[in-house]
A and B are shown apart, each in its own frame.
Chain A
Amino acid sequence: MPQDSKAAILGRVRAALRTPTSPQVMPPKAALELAESGPARAEAIRRSLPTGGENYEESKALFAEQSAALKTRFVPVPSLQAAGDELARMAAEHGWSRLGAHAGELVTPLAEKLGLETVMTDGGYDPNELERCEVGLTECDALVAQTGSVLVTTRSAGGRALSVLPPHHVVVARKSQLIGALVDAYELLESRYGDAYPSFMTFITGPSRTGDIERILVLGAHGPKELTVLLIEG
C-alpha cells in the first residue's frame, strides 16, 4: 500500500538522521550559510560561474560567442520587418513548405507574411501533422548570454512539442529578452510564473546533439538539427 510505504520511508529517513552527520563530510560553514536564499547567494553564484556580461552589448557578444560554439545560427535584425525578410530568405533556401507556429505578438505577423501551409498548435493539434512540418517558429521567455540558451515554456512557445519535433527550430526574440546569467533566468521565472508555473519549462542550448558514437558530435539526434535565433533589436 502506497500510504504505508510513505510512512515507512519517511520513518526510516528520520530515524537515520537522528545520528548527526560526521563533521568530516560536511561542507565549510560559510558555504552552508551562503547556500541559504537571498541576494548574497545569487551574487555569489553569479561571480563563481562563467560571466553573463555587464550590459546589453557584452551579453549580446557572449550570446553570439556561445551560439557559434554550439552551432546555433544567431541573427540580430533591426526590425520585425527585417526578421520577416530573413525568414522568407531561409524558407526559399531550405525549400520549406510546411510551418508549425503558435499565436503570438511576434510569431503571428511573421507566419502570415511567410504564407506557408501552417499548423497552429494553440488549442490542440494533430502530432502527425506537426511532425510533417519542416520548421517550428516560436517565441521565448528569454535568451541567456552566459550559456547561449533559449528559455521557452509551454506558455511562451506554443506547447511542449513545437520547439522539438520539427527538424528546424526558429526562435524570435526582442532585445529586452536577452538576459545575463542562469540565476537571472530563475529570478525571471519566479517573478513571471511564481503563482502558477507552466507544466513545462526548458533551457534549449544549441540544436539537438549526441556524442554517443565515438564521442563524435552529431547534430539532430532526436530534436532539431538546426536552431536559428532571430533577435529583433529595433
Chain B
Amino acid sequence: MSVNTVQFQTDADRMQQDGDRREFLRTALNGYILTRSGQQSKYGDYEAARTTAAAIKWQAIENLGEHLERFADNLEARGVHVHWCSDAAEARAAIVGVLKKHDAKAIVKSKCMTTEEIHLNELLEKQGYDVVESDLGEYIVQLRREAPYHFVFPAMHLKRGEIRELFERELGDAPTDDPEALTMIARQALRQKYLAADVGISGANFGVAETGMISITENEGNARLTTAMPKVHIALMGIEKVIPRFADLAVMLPMLALAGTGQRLTGYNSQFAGPRQEGECDGPEEMHVVLLDNHRTELLAHPEERDALRCIRCGACLNVCPVFKNVGGHTYGTTYQGPIGSVITPHLRGMKDWKHLSNASSLCGACTETCPVRIDLHHHLLRNRHSAAESSGGWAERMQMRGFALVMRQPWLYGIASSLGRWAHTLSRPIHGTRLDPVYAWRKTRDFPAPAPKTFQQLWRERKKDQPPRH
C-alpha cells in the first residue's frame, strides 16, 4: 500500500468520526443542488446545451495540436510572451524567470488550481517573494497554511467562527463572526496589495485559439484587479484549456456558471487579448502565458480516457458525489478532488501511488450525470480499477480471485461454502468488533447483513419439487 493510500484511509476514518463537519458539508452541498436545479429549469433545452458544450471541448481535444499552435501564434501577434512547459519544474522556472527579469518582490494571485498543481506558492515563499492569494476562499486557506478543500470552494469546510479566529490571529482584526464583516476585513487587507504588487498571476478557464485570448471566470473581481493594476500579468494554463472559437464562450461560460455554482452567469467573465494596447489608458505593460503539459499528453494518449481532458473544472462532480460528501476534500490529498480528481490523478501522478482513488467511488454515476461536458466519469473509474489490477494486481488478491472462481464453478463447493458462511456468521457474533475477529478491519465499522433463512440452492430445490416442469 502506498503512503497516499494509507493517508486516504486515515483521513477518511477521521472524517467519518466527525459527524458535525459532515452535516455542515452536506447542508452546503444541498444548497448548491437546489440553486442549480432552479437555474437549470430555465434552460430552453439543457441537454442540448450540454451536448454542444461536450462537442466543442471534444473538437478542441481532438485537434489539440493545431489549436495550440494557432493559440500561441495569435497570442504572440498580440504581443504576449508564450512559454511552453513540459512539466512543473519548467513552468516554475518560466515564472521565476519573469519575476527576476522585472526584479519583482510583491506578487498578487487570483485563484488558479494549476499553480497548486505545480506547487508555485511554496517555491516563491521559499525564495523570499511576498505572495498573496486574493480570492477570499484561497486567502483563508493560505492564512491557514492548508490546501484548498474543494477546487471551486476552497474554504467550504470552515465555519464562520473558525474564520474569525483565524483573522484575529493572523490579521489582528475580527470583531464579529458575521460573514459580511469578515469579507470586508479581507477586502481591506487585500486592497493595497493590488496597488502595490509588481506582478499579477492568474489562471485561465479557457484559451481561445481563433483570437489568441484567455478567458477568466470569477465572482469577486479579484482576478480583474490582479490583471489590471500590476505592470506584469502572468497566466498559467494547462494545454487542455484551449477552445477553437471566440463564440464558443457563448455556451461555455453559462455552462461553467451553472455547473460550478448554480448561477446563470458568474459575476465577471473577462477575456484578455494581450497587454495594454496602443491608445489604452491602463493594463499591464507585459503579458505572459505559461502553457503546461505536466503529463496531460499521457492522458491524451489513451483513446478511452482522453475525454477526461474535456474537464472545465466546474467542480459539479464533487458536489454530487456521495464519497466526497462523506470523506471531505482534504482526504483525497490531491490538487483536484472528487470524481474528476480520482480519474485524472493516477494518470498525472502515477497509477501505483494513486490507484486507490479509483475505489473512492460507489459507481453510482451521479458524477457522469451532472458533468456539463458529458465526461463518462464513473466508467473511467472502473477502467482505472481495471488498469490498476492489470499492472499490479497483488499475489494475495490473485489467489483470492482464483479461489472465488473455483468455488463459483462447483455447485457442491458453493453449497458447502455458503453453509459454512452462515455458521461463521452466527458463531462469530460474540467476537464481532473485537480484535479476535478475523475480518476486524472490515467489520469494525460495519457488519454483514444477516443471512436469509434459506439458501438459494435450498429454495431452488423446494421450488422444483412444488412445481411441475414447464414446457
Which residues of A approach B to under 8 Å, CB–CB? 2-3, 5-6, 8-10, 12-17, 19-22, 24-28, 31-32, 34-35, 37, 41-42, 44-51, 66, 102, 121-125, 127-128, 131, 146-149, 154-155, 158-161, 164-165, 181-183, 185-187, 189-190, 196-206, 208-216, 218, 220-224
Which residues of chain A are near B293, meaning CB under 8 Å?
9, 12
Whether the pair A211, B261 counts as a contact (CB closer than 8 A) is yes
23 contacting pairs across A/B (C-beta < 8 A): A13-B68, A16-B297, A17-B64, A24-B376, A27-B58, A32-B55, A32-B58, A45-B251, A49-B43, A49-B251, A50-B44, A51-B44, A159-B283, A164-B221, A165-B228, A200-B272, A201-B270, A208-B267, A212-B153, A213-B163, A220-B183, A222-B225, A223-B268
Query: Taking CB as reference atom, which chain B residue is nearest A15?
Result: B301
| Cβ distance A3 to chain B, nearest Cβ, rounded Å | 8
CB closest chain-B residue, reference A26: B58
CB neighbours (8 Å) of A183 from chain B are 247, 250-251
- Smallest CB separation, A109 vs chain B (Å): 20
Q: Contact mask B186-203 → A, CB, 8 Å, 1/0?
A: 110011000100000000
- A199 near B283 (CB under 8 angstroms)? yes
Asked, given contacts A49-B44, A197-B211, A213-B182, whether A164 binds B55 with beta carbons under 8 Å apart, the answer is no
- B301 engages A218 (CB within 8 Å): no
* Alpha-carbon distance between A209 and B269 when the two chains are bound, in angstroms: 13
A212 touches B154 (CB 8 A): yes
| A-chain residues with CB within 8 Å of residue B264 when the two chains form the complex | 50, 66, 146-148, 205
A221 with B183: in contact, given A5-B86, A20-B303, A48-B43 (CB under 8 Å)? yes
Give A37 to B251 CA distance when docked, in angstroms. Answer: 13
Give the distance to chain B from A18, nearest Cβ to Cβ, in Å.
9
Q: Pick the 10 closest A-B CB pairs, nearest first.
A: A223-B221, A221-B220, A35-B55, A160-B228, A12-B297, A16-B301, A25-B307, A212-B137, A48-B49, A202-B270
A-B contact sample (9 more), CB < 8 A, given A158-B281, A200-B228, A221-B187:
A6-B72, A9-B68, A35-B52, A41-B52, A45-B49, A164-B228, A200-B272, A215-B156, A222-B134
Q: Give Cα distance in the complex from A25 to B160, angstroms.
A: 42
Taken together as a complex, chains A and B put the C-alpha atoms of A133 and B52 apart, in Å, by 44
C-alpha gap A55/B274 in the complex (Å): 36
CB distance from B266 to the nearest CB of A (A): 7
- The docked-state distance in angstroms from the alpha carbon of A203 to that of B215 is 11
Q: Which residues of B contact A197 (CB under 8 A)?
A: 78, 211, 213, 273
Q: Which of A44, A146, A202 contacts B269 (CB 8 A)?
A: A202
Q: Is the CB of A35 within 8 A of B59?
A: yes
Selected from B136, B225, B281, B282, the residue in CB contact (under 8 A) with A210 is B136
Tell me the complex Cα distance, A75–B146, Å.
Answer: 45
